Amino acid sequence: MKVKDIEQSFVTNTGVNIYVRPLRAADAPYLVDLFEHMGTESRYNRFLQSTDNVGMDRIWSEAESIAYLTDGTSYGVIAFSDLPEREHAPVAAARYVLISAQQAEIAVSVRDDMQHMGIGTELLRIVIEHATEHGIEQLVGTVQNSNAPMWAVLKKLGHRLERYPEGSYSYIVFHINETAGRLEDWMDTAADFSPEPQIIW
């Protein structure tokens, strides 16, 4: 059974039960709730700009745009957990949007009080599996150079990564069909290309 057809659950490294399902068009309220539980730094790392003064109309518009995934060109998942103050609370989301037949842009968000539990890593694994099933070879994105947790997640996933620093952030190309173990062989030929990417693992 393909990833998009199933709902999943897992337990975090701190013992919290997480329920994951595909993102749906009606999930905009959950995405807004997730956004409201992300602090200034988390929002900046996700959107690469300050969002503290963004109006609610725009936030809702963006949430609706993200939730309304076009079948065949995008895919996303959303995670829930029963928290002390609320049952079935949205705690994280991840998605990709096709750029070309073999390449897609990826993004992940985790609310502040649920970070460092492995939730973002697990959602990315699910999204990567779906992308692989659909012939995608590369996932791309932009990551703040100071976003140490995200770099740790990318390393943990174990795929070959190219990193192109651009000031305070880096553009990344994540080769999901290749493991990090191929890095040494690939570096032997990397010098033949210009500009040369900074390979970090």
Compute φ and ψ for 54, nearest 5 degrees.
-80, 135
**Domain 3-136 in this protein, CATH class:** alpha beta
- Closest to 172 in 3D by CA, of 193, 153, 192: 153
Copy the structure tokens of residue 33: 């709730």
Please give the pLDDT value at position 38: 76
> Residue 159: left if φ>0, alpha if ψ -120 to 50, beta else—which one?
beta
> Structural domain boundaries of the chain?
3-136
Copy the structure tokens of residue 201: 């693992």
**Between 58 and 120, the higher pLDDT residue:** 120
Please give the pLDDT value at position 5: 57
Q: Tell me if 17 sits within 8 A of 9, measured CB to CB.
A: yes
Q: Which residues contact 163 (CB under 8 A, 6 or more apart)?
A: 170, 171, 172, 197, 198, 199, 200
In this predicted structure, which of 15-19, 45-49, 161-165 has the lowest mean pLDDT?
Answer: 45-49
Please give the pLDDT value at position 134: 92
Residue 182 has pLDDT above 70, yes or no: no
* Mean pLDDT of the 134-140 span: 94
Residue 188 has pLDDT above 80, yes or no: no
* Mean pLDDT of the 139-161 span: 88
Confidence of residue 130 (pLDDT cuts 50, 70, 90): very high
Q: Tell me if 102 sits within 8 A of 29, measured CB to CB.
A: no
* Mean pLDDT of the 54-58 span: 67
Q: Which residues contact 68 (CB under 8 A, 6 or more apart)?
A: 25
Copy the structure tokens of residue 83: 């928290």
Average pLDDT of the residues of the chain? 80
Q: Tell me if 120 sits within 8 A of 15, measured CB to CB.
A: no
* Mean pLDDT of the 121-126 span: 94
Copy the structure tokens of residue 39: 């602090």
